[in-house]
Chains A and B, each alone.
Chain A
Amino acid sequence: MSTLVYINSRNGIAKNAYEAITYAKKLGQEVIAITTGNADDSVLATAGEYGASKVLVDRSVATDDAQQLTRVIANAVESTGANTVVFSNEIVAKSVAPRLSVRLKAGLISGAIAIPEGDTVKVNVFSGKAFGNVKINSDKKIISLLPNSIQPEQTGSACSVEEFNGNAGEAKIKLLETKKPEGEIPLPEAELVVSAGRGLKGPENWGMIEDLAKELGAATACSRPVADIGWRPHHEHVGQTGVAIRPNLYIAAGISGAIQHLAGVNGSKVIVVVNTDAEAPFFKAADYGVLGDAFEVIPRLTEAVKKFKASN
Chain B
Amino acid sequence: MKILVCISKSPDTTSKIAFTDGDTKFDENGVQYIINPYDEWYALVRALELKEANGGTVTVITVGTAPDDAVIRKALAIGADDAVRIDAEPTDAYFVSMQIANHAKENGFELVMTGKETINYNGSQVGGMISEAMDLPFVSLASKMDIDGMTATLETEIVGGIQIIEVELPAVVSCAKGMAEQRIPNMRGIMAARTKPLNVVAPIEVEKLTSFNNYTMPPAKSACKMIDPENMDELVALLHQEAKVI
Which positions 206-246 of chain B face chain A at CB distance < 8 Å?
207-218, 221-222, 224-227, 229-230, 232-233, 235-240, 243, 245-246
B195 contacts the other chain (Cβ, under 8 Å)? no
Complex partner residue of A91 from B129, B157, B209, CB under 8 angstroms: B157
Q: With contacts A108-B94, A130-B217, A290-B235 known, is A249 near B245, CB below 8 A?
A: yes
If A132-B215, A172-B137, A288-B235 touch, whether A259 touches B13 (CB-CB below 8 Å) is: yes
- Which residues of A, 185-236, contact B by the 8 Å Cβ criterion? 185-189, 192, 216, 234-235
- Indicate the size class of the contact surface on chain A: 35 or more
Query: Is B149 among interface residues, defined by CB-CB distance under 8 A?
Result: no
Q: Is B137 a contact of A304 with CB atoms below 8 Å?
A: no
Residues of A contacting B226 in the complex (Cβ-Cβ under 8 angstroms): 288-291
Question: Would you call A55 an interface residue if the criterion is a C-beta within 8 Å of the partner chain's C-beta atoms?
Answer: no
Contact A136 B210 (CB under 8 A): yes
Docked pose: A18 CA to B217 CA in angstroms: 28
Q: How far is the CB of B30 from chain A (nearest CB, A)?
A: 15
CB-based contact B141/A91 at 8 Å:
yes
Interface residues of B, dominant DSSP: mixed
CA distance A184 to B158 in the complex (A): 14
Instruction: Find out whether the CB atom of B235 lies under 8 angstroms from the CB atom of A101.
Output: no
A290 touches B227 (CB 8 A): yes
Knowing A178-B161, A300-B232 touch, does A108 contact B17 (C-beta < 8 A)? no
The CA of A109 and the CA of B138, in the complex, are separated in Å by: 19
Inter-chain CA distance A288–B245, complex, in Å, is 13
**Nearest B-chain residue to A312, judged by Cβ:** B240
A189 to B213, CA, bound (A): 31
Q: Which of B68-76, B102-110, B163-171, B196-204 interfaces with chain A? A: B163-171
Q: A189-B159, A241-B38 are in contact. Are A66 and B94 (CB under 8 A)?
A: no
- Give the shortest distance, in Å, between B28 (CB) and chain A (any CB): 13
CB neighbours (8 Å) of A137 from chain B are: 207-211
**In the complex, which residues of chain B have a beta carbon less than 8 angstroms from the beta carbon of A177?**
163-164
Stretch of B46-54, B56-64, B82-90, B118-126 with 4 or more beta carbons under 8 angstroms from chain A? B118-126
A107 to B208, CA, bound (A): 8
User: Are A66 and B140 in contact, CB atoms less than 8 angstroms apart?
Assistant: yes
**Interface assignment of B8: CB less than 8 Å from any CB of chain A:** no
**B233 contacts A304, CB within 8 Å?**
yes
In the bound assembly, the distance between CA atoms of A83 and B190 in angstroms comes to 51
| A residues in contact with B13, CB < 8 Å | 240, 259-260, 263
Q: B-facing mask of A286-302, CB < 8 A → 1, else 0? A: 11111111001100110
**Interface residue total, chain B, C-beta cutoff 8 A:** 79
Distance in angstroms between the alpha carbons of A240 and B97 in the assembled complex: 23
In-complex Cβ contact of A249 among B133, B163, B213, B246 (8 A): B246
Cβ-neighbour of A174 out of B124, B161, B165 (below 8 A):
B165
Residues of B within 8 A of A3 (CB): none
Distance in angstroms between the alpha carbons of A174 and B163 in the assembled complex: 11
Tell which of A94, A135, A260, A300 has the most Cβ of chain B within 10 Å.
A94
| A248 near B238: Cβ-Cβ < 8 Å | no
Residues of A within 8 A of B161 (CB): 178-181, 186, 235
Inter-chain contacts of A272 with B (CB < 8 A): 235, 239
Segment with Cβ contacts to B, from A26-34, A44-52, A118-126, A152-160 = A118-126
Given contacts A128-B218, A240-B119, contact A110 B158 (CB under 8 A): no
B224 touches which one: A173, A241, A287 (CB < 8 A)?
A: A287
The proximity string for A residues 88-123 relative to B, scoring 1 for CB distances below 8 Å and 0 otherwise, is 011100111111111101111111000000001010
Binding site for B on A (CB under 8 A): 11, 14, 64-67, 70, 89-91, 94-103, 105-111, 120, 122, 124-138, 172-181, 184-189, 192, 216, 234-235, 237, 240-242, 244, 248-249, 259-260, 263, 269-270, 272-273, 283-293, 296-297, 300-301, 303-305, 307-308, 312
Q: List 12 A-B contacts (CB under 8 A).
A: A89-B124, A91-B141, A108-B94, A125-B121, A125-B122, A133-B215, A176-B165, A181-B161, A241-B38, A269-B245, A305-B246, A308-B240
Known: A94-B128, A129-B218, A173-B166. 11 other contacts (CB 8 A): A95-B138, A133-B214, A133-B216, A177-B164, A187-B160, A192-B245, A249-B243, A287-B225, A288-B238, A300-B229, A307-B233
